[in-house]
Chains A and B, each alone.
Chain A
Amino acid sequence: MSEHLPKPEVLSNVDFSLPDKGWMDTHSDFKPGTWNYSGTRKSVAYLDEPYPRKWQPSDEDWQLPHNWKEIILEGMRDRLDKFRTFKIFMDICVRCGACADKCHYFIGSGDPKNMPVLRAELLRAVYRKEFTLAGKLMGRMAGGLDLTEDLLRDWFYYFFQCTECRRCSVFCPYGIDTAEITMMGRELLNLVGLNIDWIMTPAANCFRTGNHLGILPHGFKDSVDFAVDDVYDNTGVRVEAPVNKKGAEILFVVPSADYFADPHYYGFMGYLTLLHEIGLDYTFSAYASEGGNFGLFHSNQMMKRLNAKIYAEAKRLGVKWILGGECGHMWRVIHQYMDTMNGPADFLEEPVSPITGTKFENAKSTKMVHICEFTADLIKNGKLKLDPSRNDHVRATYHDSCNPSRGMGLLDEPRYVINSVMNNFFEMPENTIREKTFCCGSGAGLGTDENLEMRMRGGYPRANAVQHVRDKHGVNRLLCICAIDKATLAPLMEYWAPEVNVGAIHELVGNALVMKGEKPDRDADLRGEPYGNAKAKEEKKEEGGKG
């Protein structure tokens, strides 16, 4: 944790007072801890993006191209013609305020421009001024504003203080989606070389190596082999985990953090145990070694560039269909964009589970199935031998990740899996889960160190709901199915609810899975901690001994 980060007692004391001046006359002050470093020259240039240069948002001079205003206005015109969402969302907001207190950043920071309506008004004001008759004639009276450098700075500050989680969109009577507006805003900023490094460098890595972390093919292979060894140590079963295997039935794509970061890794071990146990003929790919897609946080073109490898690799390897791991924004891309952008996947077959024979009709065209859909089907058909009591040491709650819940509707599959592999599951309060779930506060490329204060603020609504179930039910594990969540909820919990750790659903699946040929004294979960039923078993043994 950063030494500059204020204590939780300080941060939870949110100041909701409003500035004396109206929002049109106040501008962001770029306080340290609230913004992200700029994209490095190297990464921006590697991706052939415009105006790579050395600058920081805290600089007085942002070294904008001399015609930056024309570039942006032209970019707006272009996007208004390309996206009906953009046009309509610029026109129809009535500022009813229903979205205002739905944003985690607003709840955690009290900054009025974090009310989704005002975040969008920053863009709308320019739209009205430049593209509507009323705004051209009446200017401010009609809500129009000139695009000044001050306003551009606000764009940068607030469009990189939105995690595109879409919670506000659920409550908007017209379905205005701030994520869509933020995406447009970020595309426009990119046109004049304004972007952040936590997006640009992972995107550049991903373009070059296939994954955000920049892991090279042999490193990928090592990671997988390492996990295979760990699974062996833990279970006594040597699983197979092929990489780049041609002719496998299924290509399995996961976010790179799954095989490289903690606590994702235990979930990755869970996948390996599960897929081995059912004898699935699958392969990983060192080329498509990333399901996540930071291009989504940059522009639709970048998203397409980074996503292209998945279908390309499925085709090269000659698989029948694709399975996708636990990840949030990856699934937004796969569910809502991939087929449109890089399809049609007519070289693949309609996904059918080789174990249960279930046809995944909901993935008929895209040909990619979510691991939770896949596992839920296995459990429902009784294909897994599970001992939920092995997870009795875990008292869990479940965090719906934004993208699978509001960009897909994957709500009950994970819950079914959870309830099948453990006994102590507790939901957080109703208005903070399912489609009303709160963001981790660090999504959409904002999960880095320099904006840690803002992350802790933005994550507060989520953390507060976790605190509630921790106090009420003794919850000690926050489950989630998103790689960014796993990476960022961990420090969030450390800060707000230190007794609670974070983990994958498939980690618990791996724990509960009774494997053929597992070592008889298998007594520890994938983290190496004693099974929840260890004590009970021992007592039973002792009793048996006495008898």
Chain B
Amino acid sequence: MRVIIPLVAVGALGIIGALGGYLIPGLFGVVVPYAALAVFLVGIIVNVLRWAKSPVPFRIPTTSGQQKSLPWIKQNKFDNPSTMVGLIGRMAAEVLVFRSLFKNTKMELGHDRNVTYGQEIFLWVAALAFHYSFLVIFLRHFRFFMEPVPFFSTMLAQVDGFFEITVPTVYLSGLVLLGALGYLFFRRIYYANLRYISLPADYFPLFLIMAIAVTGLSMRHLPWFKADLFVVKDLAVSIFSLSSPPVDALRNMQPMFFAHLFLVSSLIAYFPFSKLLHMPGIFMSPTRNLVNNSRVKRHINPWNPEVKTHTYEEWEDEFRDLMRDAGLPLEKDE
């Protein structure tokens, strides 16, 4: 059920988009994307502010290497940063190449009950492949959103379509994206532990992005679903420039286009309410984004509470006789 329901939900979203676009193109071509974009932007901002509102009372980086201590001991400046430069390095490695995930190991039980911890690289590879192919596809789409077409979009399209396998050219990124998503789905189903921890909210975005990829690819490569790119561009440019959209022309668009658009809208509207918040969240994670300098510099806890302590005076009052007998010095000898 945890797999079926999200799958059905994504299917339903696709059908709603296709049908809705066919029946009410203005709503599904213009209003829904606008609304989704608004929900996305407001949602991200609200969440980031909501996180920022809670202070970081204690400096608790997870140190993953040698600290800065004596000058002749070699510090691991990135895994245990003590300066801003090191910290930026650590964060960049986390965000750009998923460094912590790269360290992943896999526990294996050998003979004689020996436990070994081998390399586990597949999750890292798939995660990297997924995120970067998605990024490339997103950037490639700028040729639809902007006039003149930005240079990176053209450039990426050229690199991405390097192999020129078919006409129109198959973009590598589309295949990588589907492959990576396929693996990420497969491992959730195949490994018992992962199946056990997975929630519907883990399958839903996988299916949703798969459906976006499939509808997108079908428009490019299947003659029956070809979308009129001039209309697409008019629409996108109008949305991003807040000018009047080509509603009439939308009436002639393929339902496949509306399915694609609605699925994308669903994804971005779903984003701020889901685990996809890990994207802004990683930047604010206190175990990663703080330098390990808590003995060098005092860090302030804004709500540092008053607490009841056992003062020395109270302590000596309680034990004075014992202390005197043991010959320990006293503050007050009476």
* A interface residues with partner B (beta carbon < 8 Å): 12-14, 18, 22-23, 48, 80-89, 91-98, 100-102, 107, 112, 115, 117-118, 121, 132-134, 141-143, 166, 169-177, 180, 207-210, 216-218, 221-222, 243-246, 286-287, 300-301, 304-305, 308-309, 312-313, 316, 334-337, 339-341, 343-344, 358, 360-366, 368, 373, 376-377, 380, 405-413, 416, 429, 431-432, 434-436, 460-461, 464, 467-468
Contacts and interface: CB of A to CB of B under 8 A. Distances in A.
A115 B303 CA distance: 33
Interface stretch (B107-115, B142-150, B207-215): B107-115
11 contacts: A96-B101, A101-B193, A102-B105, A121-B197, A173-B100, A207-B310, A218-B326, A316-B312, A339-B295, A411-B65, A432-B117
A164 to B, nearest CB: 11
Given A117-B197, A207-B310, A362-B69, A409 B63 contact: yes
A121 to B, nearest CB: 7
Interface string B83-118: 000000000001000101101111101000111110
Given A221-B328, A412-B73, A312 B295 contact: no
A228 B208 CA distance: 71
A413 B69 contact: yes
Interface residues of B, number: 101
Contact of A210 (B59, B114, B315): B315
Interface stretch (B236-244, B246-254, B255-263, B285-293): B285-293
Contact of A340 (B51, B105, B299, B311): B299
B100 to A, nearest CB: 5
A460 B220 CA distance: 55
A416 B304 CA distance: 37
B59 to A, nearest CB: 6
B66 A82 contact: no
Contact of B329 (A245, A364, A429): A245
B332 interface: no
B294 A173 contact: no
A471 to B, nearest CB: 10
A246 B282 contact: no
Contact of A171 (B63, B100, B201): B100
Given A94-B202, A143-B201, A312-B312, A344 B298 contact: yes
Contacts of B64: 170, 406, 409, 435
Contacts of B175: none
Main secondary structure of the interface of A (DSSP, over half): helix
Contact of B322 (A84, A94, A216, A246): A216
Nearest to B288: A175
Nearest to A121: B197
Contacts of B308: 48, 305
Nearest to A133: B273
Contacts of A132: 273
Contacts of B41: none
A406 B329 contact: no
B275 A180 contact: no
A460 B107 CA distance: 13
A301 B307 CA distance: 7
B136 interface: no
A92 B63 contact: no
Interface stretch (B13-21, B27-35, B74-82, B163-171): B74-82
A87 B50 contact: yes
A287 B60 contact: no
A175 B95 CA distance: 11
Contact of A23 (B196, B303, B305): B196
A102 B196 CA distance: 17
A204 B65 CA distance: 35
Given A95-B202, A180-B287, A406-B62, 6 more contacts: A87-B50, A88-B284, A173-B100, A174-B281, A175-B94, A409-B292
B281 A88 contact: yes
Interface in B119-168: 123, 127
A114 to B, nearest CB: 11
B310 A208 contact: yes
Contacts of B294: 335-336, 339-340, 366
Given A208-B310, A340-B299, A366-B295, A169 B192 contact: no
Q: 8 tightest CB-CB pairs across the interface, nearest first?
A: A409-B67, A218-B326, A92-B281, A175-B287, A409-B63, A431-B117, A175-B288, A101-B107
Contacts of B312: 287, 309, 312-313, 316
Nearest to B59: A336
Contacts of A221: 326-328
Contact of B60 (A171, A177, A339, A464): A177
B58 interface: yes
A286 B328 contact: yes
Contacts of A343: 298
A299 to B, nearest CB: 10
Contacts of B305: 300-301, 304
Contacts of B3: none
Nearest to A461: B115
Contacts of B53: 81
Contact of B194 (A97, A312, A316, A368): A97
Contacts of B296: 361-365
A305 B325 CA distance: 28
Contacts of A14: 109
B267 to A, nearest CB: 15
